[in-house]
Amino acid sequence: MTLGQLSLSHMARLKHAIAKHYTSRASVGGVFRLSLADIVAGLLCMSVVGLGLLFAAPEAVAQRESFAVRVQGGIALSTYSASFSNSLDVIDCGQFEFGSGSGPTFNAILELRTADKWGLGIGLGYAGRSGEFKRTNVYPIRDTITNLDTELTTEVELLPSLAFLEIQPDFRIALLGTYEKRMLGLTIGPRIALPLSSRFEQQETVVQPQNASFVVNGQRTQQRPIASSVFSTRSSVMIGASASLESFITISNNVAIVPQLSFDYFFNSVLTDADWKLLGVRAEVGIRFGFGSKAPEPVAPRKPDPIPPPPPIAIDTRPPTIDLNTPTYTAEVVTGDELLATLPIINAVFFDSASANIQTTYRRSNDGSLMSSDPVQAHSWLLVRIADILKRNPQGKVTLEGATSGSDEAAPSQGMQLAERRAQTVKDILVELGVAPSRIQTRASVSPRIPSNPEFAGGREENRRVDLLVQNAPLQEWVAVQQFSEVRGSMNVRAQPINSIGSTMRISVGANDTTVYKEIGNVFVPFSAPIPKGATTAPVRVTVEAGSAFAERTTVVDVTTLTQRRIDLKTNDFEAILRFDYNSAELNDDVRALLRQLTDRLPQGSAITIYGSTDILGSDTRNRELSEQRARVTEAFIRSLVGNKFTIETSTTGTRFADLTPQGRFLNRSIRIMAQTK
């Protein structure tokens, strides 16, 4: 039996099988969730149903369509691609990169037929493109009960609520079938989105340790609101492009049901002051009404000879799943001391051109919030950190040296006055933070004591600053040692994909993952997990992905039954950043003090790697020479202290900070030191 000979009862049974398949995909709580594979499969199935109805329906009088009207609705799945940490409204809690969400969509469309295979269209509709960003932050904190340093892990959520009025002029092509009865059609065109609603909420939740909490209005809570407002910097219009695939399910001569899958991409950012791009997938179903005049009667084709019906096709309607057995493990408890380096401090406040006002990025009070672990972002805490250093060291004093970039921002007669006002502004804030005025001395000069190259715009930007020179107190204590305890071992994972697409599985155990072929049975994945102080168990999360299928389990490791091993010193996470003055390879007193601390703590035979670095100002040749010189000078000083006690390597490669800001360039004038014990 051919497709054209399918009876309506055949089609009803096929639609019943499809409905049963997707009913089984409903998630817990009654919320219906579709993957991209589900959407594509649904459209293909509906296309098959459409073909069957097209051939099985009674013949109608042919129409040559002039225009058509369509209304449709469905769901919009949105993906956010971003690179921003804050905007005028969003509070800086670290960089957001990826997000997603969903919302309803409705459209009204007018189509004009212009040829046998193509036409033009214009659509107007509503699209909900709300979603969420998430990121994890880790902060050093002090446990007020045990008085020990530990780490706080939190999850920051940005929840934008977005809705748009969207307009789309497009070009419509019949890839298969006629324009009036498209078995497969393509639609392409620009898409214009006008914002209707653009609010957001920003909140932070404690993840680890579980007994940590925030204090909000005198109450302890594990989730605190950060911000909630309207996006005041939203783009007034979003310009993008859209492409769609569609298939007609014919109901009558001029009425059809049309499932459609659309892909939208917008070229400009959602906000004018943040890098945030929007990509969307819309799955919609509509009803279409065609209008036109009667066409000439076609010549009836000769009926083909009947052929035997094909054998029935067995359709596996089970959704893709993974059978994940309870993992087993072999492990040990490893304890010891961990060597860490504290965040570097940039002891300079930078100003805008011709201004003595403190930039809004600098904190003027200690509100109890946690400082970022990113050295560039932590620079906003500079004044609070300097005030704390002076409070901890009663004999300490600070000298504020105000400076300018020269005649490009002030006349020679006004340069000294601008430098003095800048130093006075910084002094006023330190006094507000509790530093006695008698402990603060101010100086002013047209150019800084150690200027950056004024031939570059970045150099002039750096010279508009106030240097904070601390006396009788350590500006920074570089090296610290803290105890750690973790479980290390190998996890035995056995997983079997069922009805999934693809030939490999990705298995993740804690922070480690591996990719294996599905035919492999047991997989041994190394893992490590921290043991909270006083805990007798350590949870380890195991996840398995294969195509669109996903499974997870949490294995609780009983550490009381494991053997224990102590190591002298753990240095895996040690990375110290030592700063140099502009265009200099001379070690200052703070850097020498750090290197002495480091050599005192590392055991005999340790390996030290020194990475020299510079900013982008100047020529590539000079910067490469200066990077190498800084690494060699550091190696020579370490050997002068301990001889051949350590194995030392030098390099000019390594991680760099972004050179877009003065603080980033100051941090790149440095060396990075990493250490590894035997």
**Which residue ranges make up each domain of the chain?**
3-294, 321-339+480-568, 345-475, 575-676
Give residue 300's pLDDT band: very low, low, confident or very high (50, 70, 90): low
**CATH code for the part of the protein at 321-339+480-568:** 2.60.40
What does the mean pLDDT of the chain come to? 83
pLDDT over 50 at 4, yes or no? no
Looking at residues 186-196, what average pLDDT do you find? 94
The pLDDT of residue 56 is 40
In this predicted model, what pLDDT tens digit does every residue of 98-126 receive, in sequence order? 999 999 999 999 999 888 888 999 999 99
Each residue's pLDDT tens digit, 609-620: 999 999 988 888
Q: Which residue has the higher pLDDT, 538 or 515?
A: 538
Chain centroid to CA 38: how far?
Answer: 26
What pLDDT was estimated at residue 518? 58
Who has greater pLDDT, 42 or 9? 42
Q: Per mean pLDDT, which of 63-72, 256-265, 285-294, 503-512 is the most reliable? A: 256-265
| Nearest-angstrom CA–CA distance, 526 and 510 | 9
Q: Is the pLDDT of residue 5 over 60?
A: no
Q: Would the CATH topology of 321-339+480-568 be identical to that of 575-676?
A: no
Give the pLDDT confidence score for residue 48 in this predicted structure.
Answer: 45
User: What is the structure's pLDDT at 393?
Assistant: 94
One-letter amino acid at 606 equals S
Range of weakest confidence among 120-134, 141-155, 426-440? 141-155
Least confident interval from 20-29, 411-420, 426-435, 562-571: 20-29
Terminal alpha carbon distance of the chain: 75
- Residue 22 pLDDT grade (very low, low, confident, very high; cuts 50, 70, 90): very low
Q: Is 309 left (phi over 0), alpha (psi -120 to 50) or beta?
A: beta
Which of the four pLDDT bands, split at 50, 70 and 90, describes residue 20? very low
Residue 427 CA to residue 392 CA, distance in Å, equals: 18
Q: What is the pLDDT of residue 7?
A: 36
Tell the residue number behind the tokens 């393509």, with chain if given: 186
Q: What is the pLDDT of residues 206-227, one digit of tens each?
A: 888 888 888 888 788 888 898 8
Q: What is the pLDDT of residue 553?
A: 87
Distance CA 570, CA 553 (A): 30
CATH topology of domain 345-475: 60s Ribosomal Protein L30; Chain: A; (3.30.1330)
Other beta carbons within 10 angstroms of residue 606's beta carbon come to 20
Which residues 6+ apart lie within 8 Å of 327 measured at CB? 491, 492, 493, 494, 509, 542, 553, 555
Which among 307, 415, 269 has a CA at the least distance from the CA of 354?
Answer: 415
Reply yes or no on whether the pLDDT at 55 is more than 80.
no
Residue 23, pLDDT score:
40
> What is the CATH T-level fold of the domain 575-676, as seen in this structure?
60s Ribosomal Protein L30; Chain: A; (3.30.1330)
Mean pLDDT of 46-69: 54
Q: What is the pLDDT of residues 523-564, one digit of tens each?
A: 888 888 888 888 888 888 888 888 778 888 888 888 888 898
| Residue 59, pLDDT score | 42
pLDDT digits (tens, 9 = 90+) for 353-364: 999 999 999 998
More confident residue, 40 or 375: 375
Retrieve residue 291's tokens. 């209008």
Q: How confident is the model at residue 520 (pLDDT cuts 50, 70, 90)?
A: low
